Amino acid sequence: MKRQPVLTMVLLNVVLVIGIRSASAHAHLSRSDPPANGSIDKSPSEIRLWFTEPLEPEFSRITLRDSSGSIVDTPSSQVDTVDRTQMFMQPANLSDGSYTVVWRVLSTDGHSTEGSFSFGINIDVMSATTQTTVDETIPIGSAIIRWANLLSMSMAVGSIAFWLFVWIPAIPNGQVVIEHRMRILIWSGWILLGVTSIMLLLLQAATAADVPLFTVITNPVLNNILNNSRYGQVWFARQICWIMLGGVLWFAREDPALYWVALLLGGQILLTNSLYSHASAVQQEATAAIAGDWLHLTATALWIGGLAQFFNVIGPVRTHFASSTQILSSLVGHFSNFIRVVVVGLIISGIYSAWLQVGSIDGVLTTAYGQTLLLKVMLVFPLLAVAVINLVLTQRGLRCGKPVWIGRLRGLIGAELALATGILAAVGVMTAIAPARTVIATRNAENSSLADESFFEMQVQDNLMAHLEISPGYVGENKFVVSLFDAEGNPLTDTTFVRLRFDNLQQNLGQSELRPEQQEVGNIYTAGGSNMSVPGEWRIRMTVQRPNEFDKVIDYQVEINPPPPPSDPNIAMNSPDLERFLALFIAGIAFLASGGFFVAQASPHWFRRTSMIPAVLLIVGVIFLISSLPE
């Protein structure tokens, strides 16, 4: 009863990881037909886009704009049912001219990407470009929810592991009062798991609908997420495991051996988290990436949850055991033996994950993801230092029967918990934003295509001061920001109508117009469009209407220059084959070596409970070595 469920957990997780396909995260445009920045000689029967990751069909779309910025009426875009990395639309006959394709797609881990590119029909689209947006702003609400999710998994799974790998070996006969206290912590983690599951679902739906978190409850997109997306499938699997975990914990009150089954279910919940993590975005080595992420997440949960449960029992052990120093010394010894294996797995999987998601010093120093990773590493070092102090000094003091070390032990583990909470907060931020490798690849693609030629001009007419900003300032899709003030510089918030009309002063292209919409800051109006479709001199006529005032008409003259020659718009997300092989091979050997070392230490009784975690290292090592082989 004690061994079979744990072995089942290991084997089942391996089967699920090997069998799973990439779940996608941060889909970026890989190529298109018609090609971005190109010109074709007739109307295309189809516009097809290829992305680096599979897409969520219900929440991904393409729109087409003409040279005036107006949306072209076309059949709805679709995700290819055979290959979900492809998306297409089939427009009717398009007239000659320039067009801008605007896309927004959603990945199953809750991150959206968007961008645009231009092409021409019998016209040279000199300034066509590809734009991809990756937002590095840290979403505080999302980071908090993800932090709470990590905390709940640690409390539930790590507390159970402490019971099985530390408490039972140190105190085989148990202690009723203390074990009741331990169950309270486990149940607290279970309840928090349920709450964070609901919050994660709302977060995913809010991201898909691009609405505030709690307003999504009544939004039909929530039902679509549950029933028509891969995320919904994984979420339902997590909920089933959560309900089963609650049932097993209830019956484990009478039969503590059921905690092995609870650990199995906890491992499945951790796996569902890895199936929509950043690691699932890596198509080349998705199996190894998901296995590594699951191992890293499991090791984190075992360590931090184990610390929480250890802190939870120190006081009661001192109260209920006459030989409390010897009992605590035994607990420290068993916990140290348990954690050293966990830490080895944590370090190896962490280094591999850093290579996978960051990949360069530039990624560490210049991206929000890399900087947060650096903060996480800075917190890990003192955490390891405190663990060494407990192993070397605290255990020795307790073994010598010195009660003063009980208080020191509680203080040191409390310090470890505080550091661990900070580490989880950093991880919560990292899971809420784009990985550094994605950001760097996108920056490189943008920097190799076009320089920013933003336009800004202020004009004053009577008692109106009007600012016009245009970015990035080249032909194609631009953002127009109108800011209105009175003559003294005070914001004007009573404007009823703002219009921008576009005329090319060198070619007779006809007029087009935009009507910017008022923003929360009442004197700011914004709009987007590809109204400036060719290089040259453009006149933008701004019309402003206010109550009890004559309309104000202000002309701006804008020079739109040809950009640098078009560059390859593809975003290279995959690492070179040799680099990929070395990373997987070295990590696989490290997992095998460390797992083999700890299993050998347990011989000749290698099948006892202390060998279960080293066995996981061995299995993950095999997965990594297999993944390193050429396809």
Burial of 565-598, coded b for 16+ CB within 10 Å and e otherwise, reads ebbebbbebebeeeebbebbebbbebbbebbeeb
Does 29-133 match 455-560 in CATH topology? yes
The residue to which tokens 């931090």 are assigned: 304
Q: Domain boundaries in the chain?
A: 4-24+137-442+572-628, 29-133, 455-560
Give the pLDDT band of residue 33 (cuts 50, 70, 90). Answer: confident
With contact defined as beta carbons under 8 Å apart, do 143 and 432 qualify?
yes
Give the pLDDT band of residue 145 (cuts 50, 70, 90). Answer: very high
Give the pLDDT band of residue 366 (cuts 50, 70, 90). Answer: confident
Minimum mean pLDDT range among 124-128, 151-155, 205-209, 529-533: 124-128
Give the pLDDT band of residue 137 (cuts 50, 70, 90). Answer: confident
Give the pLDDT band of residue 48 (cuts 50, 70, 90). Answer: very high
| Structure confidence by residue, pLDDT tens digits, 276-297 | 777 666 656 677 888 888 889 9
**Mean local confidence (pLDDT), 492-510:** 89
* Residues of the chain above pLDDT 70, percent: 83
Residue 78 backbone dihedrals phi, psi, to 5 degrees: -140, 150
| Structure confidence by residue, pLDDT tens digits, 430-471 | 888 878 777 777 676 555 554 556 888 989 888 889 999 998
- Residue 547's alpha-carbon distances to 443, 460, 497, 526, in angstroms, are 45, 18, 10, 21
Distance, CA of 391 to CA of 119 (rounded, Å): 65
| Structure confidence by residue, pLDDT tens digits, 386-427 | 888 887 888 788 888 888 888 888 899 999 999 999 999 999
Give the pLDDT band of residue 573 (cuts 50, 70, 90). Answer: very low
pLDDT computed for residue 378 by the predictor? 93
**Mean local confidence (pLDDT), 505-514:** 86
pTM assigned to the model:
0.70
With contact defined as beta carbons under 8 Å apart, do 18 and 623 qualify?
yes
CATH 2.60.40.3340 fits 455-560, yes or no: yes
Distance, CA of 133 to CA of 472 (rounded, Å): 13
pLDDT computed for residue 278 by the predictor? 73
Q: Please give the mean pLDDT across all residues of the chain.
A: 81
* Exposed / middle / buried, residue 46 (Cβ in 10 Å: 0-12, 13-18, 19+): exposed
**Mean local confidence (pLDDT), 38-53:** 85
Distance, CA of 357 to CA of 434 (rounded, Å): 9
The full length of the chain comes to 631
Residue 162 backbone dihedrals phi, psi, to 5 degrees: -60, -45
CATH fold, domain 29-133, is Immunoglobulin-like (2.60.40)
More confident residue, 551 or 561: 551
More confident residue, 477 or 458: 458
Q: Are strands 39-40 and 112-121 parallel, antiparallel or unpaired?
A: parallel
pLDDT computed for residue 527 by the predictor? 92
